[in-house]
Amino acid sequence: MADRVFAVGLMVLVAAFWRETAELAGASGGSPVGPAFVPRVVLALIFGLSVLLLVQSVLQAEKAVRMTGISDFLKLHWRVPVLLAGFGVYVALMEGIGFTWASVAFLLGSFALLIREYSRGILIASAVIAVGLPFGLEWLFESALNTFLP
């Protein structure tokens, strides 16, 4: 049952984000795609995977996660709701400080939350990825795709 609730909740969230992408500017400057293109591709993939999860949870009902096991699951995997809350903060920050800096903050926070054993190499790699990925994506969109990220 929990799988079904999660899948339907995720589909509702995807629909809300899809609606928000309609407010992004269209293609400009000779670009074949606008800033909404990549988010919509990702949202379509998430929606498709949610449909698969929903179908599988109906077909394999005996293997589905029961609602009674949610508290035990959260005790063991408390990082999941914390990461989801962090994602909400990330989305809120994106409008205020932009994609790049909001992504850097989200990735640094996520890595700090998810890394179980810290070492110098892991911290350096995490910092490089957290800073390099958003700036790399910004460069890719502006240089190769001739469009801007929000």
Task: Identify whether residues 88 and 139 lie together within a single domain.
Answer: yes
Query: Distance between CA 48 and CA 52 in Å, rounded?
Result: 6
* pLDDT, tens digit (0-9, with 9 covering 90-100), for 34-91: 777 778 888 899 899 899 988 888 887 666 556 566 677 777 777 778 888 888 888 8
Contacts of 80 (CB under 8 A, 6+ apart): 74
Task: Identify whether residues 35 and 98 lie together within a single domain.
Answer: no
Domain that holds residue 129: 78-150
Per-residue confidence (pLDDT) for residue 27, from 0 to 100: 65
Give the end of a domain, one of 55, 74, 93.
74
Task: Identify whether residues 3 and 59 lie together within a single domain.
Answer: yes
Task: Identify whether residues 70 and 100 lie together within a single domain.
Answer: no
Task: Identify whether residues 2 and 54 lie together within a single domain.
Answer: yes
Q: How far, in Å, are 31, 35, 105 from residue 80 at the CA level?
A: 37, 29, 18
Per-residue confidence (pLDDT) for residue 64, from 0 to 100: 57
> Are the beta carbons of 123 and 107 closer than 8 angstroms?
no
Instruction: Return the percent helix, strand and coil in the chain, to nearest 5.
Output: 75, 0, 25
Task: Identify whether residues 39 and 55 lie together within a single domain.
Answer: yes
Phi, psi at residue 111, to the nearest 5°?
Answer: -65, -40
* pLDDT, tens digit (0-9, with 9 covering 90-100), for 5-42: 778 888 888 888 888 887 776 666 666 667 777 788 88
> Are the beta carbons of 34 and 28 closer than 8 angstroms?
yes
Give the end of a domain, one of 74, 97, 130.
74
Contacts of 56 (CB under 8 A, 6+ apart): 3
> Are the beta carbons of 87 and 114 closer than 8 angstroms?
no
Number of separate domains in the chain: 2
Per-residue confidence (pLDDT) for residue 63, from 0 to 100: 62
User: Which secondary-structure segment (H or E) carries 101?
Assistant: helix 99-114
